[in-house]
Structure 1
Amino acid sequence: MAKVLCVLYPDPVTGFPPAYARDSIPLIESYPNGQSLPSPHAIDFTPGELLGSVSGELGLRTFLEAAGHTLVVTSDKEGPDSEFERELPDADVVISQPFWPAYLTPERLAKAERLSLAITAGIGSDHVDLATAIERGITVAEVTYSNSIGVAEHTVMQVLALVRDYIPQYEIVIGGGWNIADAVSRSYDLEGMEVGVFAAGRIGRAVIERLAPFGVKLHYNDRYRLPADVEERYGLTFHDDIRSLVKEVDVLTVHAPLTEETRGLIDDELLASMRRGSYIVNPARGAIADRDAVVRALESGRLAGYAGDVWAPQPAPADHPWRSMPHHGMTPHTSGTSLAGQARYAAGVREILESWFAGRAIRPEYLIVEGGAYAGTGAHSYQAK
């Protein structure tokens, strides 16, 4: 029997919800590319419940304990005395979320002698040291596409919030004011602007599709060029690299995985090449941007705004400069963990576990690393082209 160690974010400060704002969530039958939704044999939760926090347990306890497995759920993940650190050495499976990542460093993986499977409840497995996982033969899987559309929606929301300068206008209302001149002194129309999408995979392409009706001029860069008919449909201009892309746009959205190639990519030099008064929305990974370079660009006016919901590290410390920098619209990595998204990634985790325990193949779109090599989605996203 296996020990499953699950690291989830803490429950709401007011306690686990006794009721929800809505009675149900919409039924989504397939993803835009035709990929089927998670298909476990059963689920032990009601879609629309809070599943991603500790008390939600991803709806896994009944399933795992009925099969004789042990489930340990915690939010305590930092430091050598954390519950995660104490429980890791004899864990067979570790489940973590990008929103509250349990970092599986080489040092931690060295202690986890029994670990054979690391699952990301959501998308993005860079909190696992993938090189060590390959070396150790650990399988790494994630629930691809489970929350991609939610992240794309969040991106569009943040683009509009920055360009229209929504947050200060809301604060004027909360403060009892009505000074329209103050409210609109940094407010622009998105219509007619040039928008660049860095990495046009599932999320990036969904952003393109959702921004096109706003009357913007769309640019993109990706390792894999989109089909000609897609470029024509959305009026896309392709750029060979991000440095060419950023020079031509007013708004940049970032959707690339965190790799050695993308780490720290948005630095002083890149920012200096952008149009003065540009905006960046980064829902991908915080470490793609140089933390202090972003602050400097906002303070100098090179950037008119920066938003996203990814930080480095996560959770961000209280004194992280992105909390207090001017003209930002940051959120605490919530874009992919709406209640609808949780239902899908919880079901996907259950499907992966069902396959794993039964000795069946995990579907390729969920795989990042398997058999000592990048596999499935991982071979597409992380492996050098």
Structure 2
Amino acid sequence: MFRASREFSKLLRPTSPLLTSLDRAVHGSSGSKKIVGVFYKANEYADKNPNFLGCLEHGLGIKNWLESQGHTYILTDDKEGPNCELEKHIEDMHVLITTPFHPAYVTADRIKRAKNLQLLLTAGIGSDHVDLQAAAAAGLTVAEVTGSNTVSVAEDELMRILILVRNFLPGHHQVIKGEWNVAAIAYRSYDLEGKTVGTVGAGRIGQLLMQRLKPFGCNLLYYDRAKISPEMEKETGAKFEEDLDAMLPKCDVVVLNVPLTEKTRGLLNKERIAKMKKGVLIVNNARGALVDTQAMVDACNSGHVAGYGGDVWYPQPAPKDHPWRYMPNQAMTPHISGTTIDGQIRYAAGTKDMLDRYFKGEDFPAQNYIVKEGKIAPQYQ
């Protein structure tokens, strides 16, 4: 149900029988294009690293390149509400670039009004900010830079697992406050060795995580719509679980590695959380809406969930009163796991490559397509 096939073109599902003669074909389209990029504002941090490409001020480092070819490149961080800057360009833009870290929500209404729109690019991984059904019905192409930040996210997941298992954050807070109370940390600090870690979803990120967990001597379980390769199972020692509800109660640590779809929304709800081990630790760098917000708050408050860590929220940016900010034993950050400087270099290069192919009327790498010719990628079905 979750993991995308490597042979994407063989598994794409048409959403409408009328899409054989699309009027917004993305390839082979010539002439000057209006491209809008939506990114977060870096302010004083923009000039601290020349490779900080994913911010508004640098706009993936492609502005001069685009303008030298006669295209218009509009950069903004203002994406919400009827009077935002993005709305001013909806009707005549050809390409919209956005990121999972500061997503511009592309609704069916926006798609309907975007008469010239042909291409929606995600600089990174994760296109759930787009109404994919509406995009497919309108004949739009949706693509992302597959694989660009898988290493970044997998490393971050490993970090959060260790932070939660070792009860690191309370100790760090003691140092800041000038305190010294070892007992307040040690009573719920454990070794990772020997613990059972289960990943819900074993695609690129899930497999990288299992490879990195192997040296820690964990018992590794995974749930997915299909088994990983025998070679990867042998390398990691991971065991396949056919039933998610049977796997979860076995786990000391659960990591979410699935895309957000209507099938996975609210995947960890009150009932599923109640069936998990008391004291379970949960890491979610996938999407905030995979988890029932209040159910997680209640579980952390009661101690049934001993710690919840991740960097994804719903909505994003998270409002100041979002309850996950204030629940106990949380290891939350803004959405940063996939936007390391190394990750930014990769997704900036991937975005530029797809734009270049778009201008030349060439296809993208097959694995980058999320919507193509009215068909939606398997992982979003």
Q: Note whether the superposition's TM-score is higher than 0.5.
A: yes
TM-score (norm 1): 0.89
5+ residue gaps, structure 1, are 21-45
Partner of 2:284: 282
Q: Distance in 1 between matches of 2:69 and 2:230?
A: 50
TM-score (norm 2): 0.90
Equivalent of 1:309 in 301, 308, 311: 311
Partner of 2:42: 11
Sequence identity (%): 47
Partner of 2:297: 295
Deviation of the 1:244 alpha carbon: 1.4
Q: Which amino acid aligns with 2:152?
A: G
Partner of 1:261: 263
Report 1 or 2 for greater relative contact order, CA contacts < 8 Å, sequence distance ≥ 6: 2
Q: Which amino acid aligns with 2:94?
A: D
CA contact (8 A) 1:154 1:335 kept: yes
Partner of 1:24: none
Partner of 2:117: helix, strand, or coil?
Answer: coil
Runs of 4+ in structure 1 deviating by more than 3 angstroms, as ranges, are: none
Q: Deviations over 1:195-219 (max 9, x none)?
A: 0011000000001000111111000
The reply on whether 1:122 has 2:120 as its aligned counterpart is no
Q: Distance in 2 between matches of 1:10 and 1:280?
A: 30
Q: Deviations over 1:346-381 (max 9, x none)?
A: 00000000000100111101111111112xxx23x2
Q: Distance in 2 between matches of 1:356 and 1:156?
A: 37
CA contact (8 A) 2:196 2:221 kept: yes
Partner of 2:41: helix, strand, or coil?
Answer: coil
Q: Distance in 1 between matches of 2:97 and 2:255?
A: 29
Q: Distance in 2 between matches of 1:16 and 1:352?
A: 25
Partner of 1:382: 380
Deviation of the 1:15 alpha carbon: 4.5
The reply on whether 1:2 has 2:60 as its aligned counterpart is no
CA contact (8 A) 2:211 2:235 kept: no
CA contact (8 A) 1:172 1:183 kept: no
Q: Which amino acid aligns with 1:3?
A: K
Q: 1:367-378, aligned counterparts within 5 Å?
A: 367-374=369-376, 378=377
Partner of 1:154: 156
Q: Deviations over 1:3-51 (max 9, x none)?
A: 0010001114x3522x44xxxxxxxxxxxxxxxxxxxxxxxxx6xx111
Partner of 1:68: 70
Q: Distance in 1 between matches of 2:58 and 2:213?
A: 34
Q: 1:42-121, aligned counterparts within 5 Å?
A: 49-121=51-123
5+ residue gaps, structure 2, are 1-31
CA contact (8 A) 2:171 2:185 kept: yes
Q: Distance in 1 between matches of 2:108 and 2:287?
A: 20
Q: Distance in 2 between matches of 1:88 and 1:322?
A: 33
Q: Compared with structure 1, are the counterparts of its residues 15 and 213 closer, same or farther at alpha carbon in structure 2 (3 Å cutoff)? A: closer
Q: Which amino acid aligns with 1:289?
A: V
Q: Which amino acid aligns with 1:116?
A: Q
- The number of aligned residues is 350
Deviation of the 1:227 alpha carbon: 2.0
Q: Distance in 2 between matches of 1:233 and 1:280?
A: 24
CA contact (8 A) 1:5 1:88 kept: no
Q: Distance in 1 between matches of 2:244 and 2:141?
A: 32
Deviation of the 1:287 alpha carbon: 0.4
Q: Which moved more, 1:104-113 or 1:179-188?
A: 179-188
Q: Which moved more, 1:359-368 or 1:149-158?
A: 359-368
Deviation of the 1:191 alpha carbon: 1.0
Partner of 1:344: 346
Deviation of the 1:232 alpha carbon: 2.8
Deviation of the 1:144 alpha carbon: 0.3
Q: Compared with structure 1, are the counterparts of its residues 15 and 234 closer, same or farther at alpha carbon in structure 2 (3 Å cutoff)? A: closer
Equivalent of 1:248 in 233, 247, 250: 250
